Amino acid sequence: MAEPEKVDMEKIVSLCRRRGFIFPSSEIYGGLSSCWDYGPLGVELKRNVKDAWWRAIVQKRDDTVGLDTSILMHPRTWEASGHVEGFSDPLVECKSCHLRWRADELGDDKCPTCGGELTEPRLFNLMFKTFMGPVEEEANTVYLRPETAQGIFVNFQNVVNTTRKKLPFGIAQIGKAFRNEITTGNFIFRSREFEQMELEFFVKPGSDGGWFDYWLGERLNWYVNLGIKRENLQLRPHTEEELAHYARACSDIDYLFPMGWSELEGIANRGDFDLAQHAKYSGKNLDYFDDETKEHFLPCIIEPSAGVDRSVLAFLCDAYAEEPDKDEIRVVLHLHPTLAPIKVALLPLSRKENLAKLAKEIHADLRQCWEAQYDDAQSIGRRYRRQDEIGTPFCVTVDFQSLEDEQVTIRERDSMKQIRIPIAELKTVLAAKLSGERFDSQSLWTANG
């Protein structure tokens, strides 16, 4: 079967920069390698991605709860989790130019930059270290968390005791994670500071295989329901050799990014590894007591772990299109309305006072419900293009006729079709269209021609 078409990363990076989605971090100082700042549109998009995940994983289910734990944790956490011992990559250094490389990513034994001789590989821990308090000594070392998951595991008993949740149930968290990655790049795909959306789903031992399959399906559907083309997603089970030390099974959801198929999310069956380790290192009993069977045991954990930034990148890549429009090419982001940073743009046909007054009133009213932009600069065609390029699903045009008949035109981004509706019905109609009603369905208003 032919491989689906990939979008060019340069085009995504350029659009993100040009329209204020994503900028290099501390750019006026020349930027900081593989750190990124989300601009006014990027922050809306990213919030929408996180909100959609939170809605699906926490708010729409009654078998999950949320948590927001601190980035700095007791250093023993990372001994128990295996990160102090094992969260490292093999690194070689060039004896001439002193650049460092990941040994497992080099094709031969020469420095890719200068051809110099390389040292033997040494293990390099990927956790960022810092010191707690004013004294910089080994005893005060703390780490910036490399994953949000451990904050959930160490609070397992707190959640059981305070919520009286019964198995199976999940604890979810969204937050920053930090990894001193050696090889970064591909824009926001791999950075040193990023955000994760993680669910730890606790189940009875023996039922873990079934729950693992269940979460694979749920998570794949989440991306598809938010508009990612199914042919651009694939499940990739890990081989025995690839499995992390804590995992009984793991499958990645891979997306066809511009650089090729790469991991978007990992779904792991972690068994009882984490609770057993934290029980051992903390000396606390983390057993779950089953009221029905009167048994004490450690639950198994199924973990769907997604990257916020990778999801943002996947949604952007999948939505990006260049389409012929008359004699030109229009750039359009076909973002799902739930994710679009701006839901509706208000475009008065002229800046004339009476028209602007009406358009501003409508804009003020729409803002109470949605992120709405007002744009009166340049021709209407250019304004439509600007909104297409940032993924705004609907534009509302106010013209001189609107002053007479109290109607406005709504134009849809994807089909570029237009409908004319009474201003009094605008919010109801937009609400229906934003939640998926067909654009040319006329159930809610009286069409005008």
191 contacts ligand GAP (rule: CB under 6 A):
yes
* From candidates 38, 101, 156, 194, binder to ligand GAP by CB under 6 A: 194
Smallest distance from the beta carbon of 175 to ligand GAP, in angstroms? Answer: 11
User: In the beta sheet, which residues pair with residue 22?
Assistant: 38
Smallest distance from the beta carbon of 214 to ligand GAP, in angstroms? Answer: 18
The interface region with ligand GAP, picked from 116-124, 137-145, 299-307, 344-352 by CB under 6 A, is: 299-307
Tokens of 11: 């085009």
**Exposed (0-12), middle (13-18) or buried (19+): which is 12, by Cβ within 10 Å?**
buried
Of the pair 190, 336, the CB lying nearest ligand GAP is at 190
List binders of ligand GAP among 108-167 (CB under 6 A): 147, 149
The interface region with ligand GAP, picked from 58-66, 92-100, 257-265, 323-331 by CB under 6 A, is: 257-265
69 contacts ligand GAP (rule: CB under 6 A):
no
316 contacts ligand GAP (rule: CB under 6 A):
no
Q: What are the DSSP calls for 268-283, one per residue?
A: EEEETHHHHHHHHHH-
Q: 119 with 129: CB under 8 angstroms? A: no
Alpha carbon 233 to chain centroid, angstroms: 15
Smallest distance from the beta carbon of 310 to ligand GAP, in angstroms? Answer: 4
The interface region with ligand GAP, picked from 110-118, 194-202, 313-321, 361-369 by CB under 6 A, is: 194-202
Distances from the Cα of 340 to the Cαs of 48, 215, 345, 414, in angstroms?
8, 26, 12, 13
198 contacts ligand GAP (rule: CB under 6 A):
yes
- Alpha carbon distance 253, 266 (integer Å): 6
- Alpha carbon distance 165, 153 (integer Å): 15
Question: End-to-end alpha-carbon separation of the chain, Å?
Answer: 45
272 contacts ligand GAP (rule: CB under 6 A):
no
Q: 356 with 399: CB under 8 angstroms? A: no
* From candidates 271, 307, 341, 393, binder to ligand GAP by CB under 6 A: 307
- Alpha carbon distance 183, 178 (integer Å): 14
Smallest distance from the beta carbon of 188 to ligand GAP, in angstroms? Answer: 7
Residue nearest to ligand GAP (CB): 307
Cis preceding linkage at 168, omega within 30: yes
Smallest distance from the beta carbon of 105 to ligand GAP, in angstroms? Answer: 14
Residues found near ligand GAP in the complex (CB under 6 A)? 147, 149, 179, 181, 190-191, 194, 196, 198, 263-266, 303, 305-307, 309-310
